[in-house]
């Protein structure tokens, strides 16, 4: 872990892999110190926003260092306590067959692998409520489409690289679309607008036709 200054009220912790980042974020969340206002994970960083009146940046840096040193133990506890959500999916996306072909497997096997894997929300990006979901149960490495679509419908379930994600609203996109869900991913009228937040566990299930 490398800790960098980020203005007068934040620190940026950098990591060498997505797995490290997820593990560290869970550890920081589980042991959040008073004065840590917000933790914002990304693919290889975690931003820690600090209230200087309650915690100095020097103290926050020490907290990050100490907590990360114990990340493995804390992460094991956090894994069992993580919030979870199940997303029903109709696996009939326009890229389902071509994605299976890219992987050298059948459509049924692709659906089985995707729906049986346990996914974790690594971070939110691209659009409000768009969760980047990663899993150690799969070995997907899916290239983006050569040409992005000008409008991907809300609820589309896609694959790109090692991630799966669900488009929270209609928007341009280049992910390989393998299915759709009727679940509302982003609703500003809710106390927590995003249905999926960093650290959550996500499972997909095959929806009835």
CATH number for the domain running over 2-80:
3.30.1360.40
Q: What is the mean pLDDT of residues 72-81?
A: 49
| Element spanning 22, H or E | helix 18-30
Q: What is the DSSP letter of 6?
A: B
| Ranges of CATH 3.30.1360.40 domains, the chain | 2-80
pLDDT tens for 62-74 read 999 999 988 755 4
Per residue in 94-121, pLDDT tens? 999 999 999 999 999 999 999 999 999 9
Query: Which regions of the chain carry the CATH code 2.40.100.10?
Result: 84-206
**Rounded mean pLDDT of 29-50?**
94
CATH code for the structural domain at 84-206: 2.40.100.10
pLDDT given for residue 155 in this prediction:
97
Q: Please state the pTM of the whole predicted model.
A: 0.83
Q: Model confidence over 147-203: pLDDT tens digits?
A: 999 999 999 999 999 999 999 999 999 999 999 999 999 998 888 899 999 989 999
CA distance 171 to 12: 30
């Amino acid at each position: 872990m490398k800790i960098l200054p980020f203005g007068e009220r934040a620190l940026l912790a950098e990591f060498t892999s997505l797995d490290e980042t997820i593990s560290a974020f869970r550890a920081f969340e589980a042991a959040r110190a008073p004065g840590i206002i917000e933790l914002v994970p990304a693919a290889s960083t975690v931003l820690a926003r600090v209230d200087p009146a309650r915690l100095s940046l020097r103290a926050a840096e020490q907290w990050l260092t100490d907590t990360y040193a114990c990340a493995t133990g804390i992460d094991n506890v956090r894994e069992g306590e993580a919030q979870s959500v199940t997303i029903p999916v109709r696996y009939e996306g326009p890229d389902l067959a071509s994605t299976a072909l890219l992987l050298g497997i059948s459509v049924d096997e692709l659906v089985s692998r995707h729906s049986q894997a346990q996914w974790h929300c690594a971070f939110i990006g691209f659009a409000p409520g768009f969760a980047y979901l990663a899993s150690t149960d799969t070995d997907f490495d899916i290239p983006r489409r050569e040409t992005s679509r000008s409008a991907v419908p809300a609820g589309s379930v896609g694959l790109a690289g090692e991630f799966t994600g669900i488009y929270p609203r209609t928007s341009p996109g280049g992910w390989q679309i393998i299915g759709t869900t009727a679940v509302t991913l982003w609703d500003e009228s809710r106390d927590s607008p995003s249905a999926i937040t960093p650290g959550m566990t996500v499972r997909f299930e095959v929806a009835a036709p």
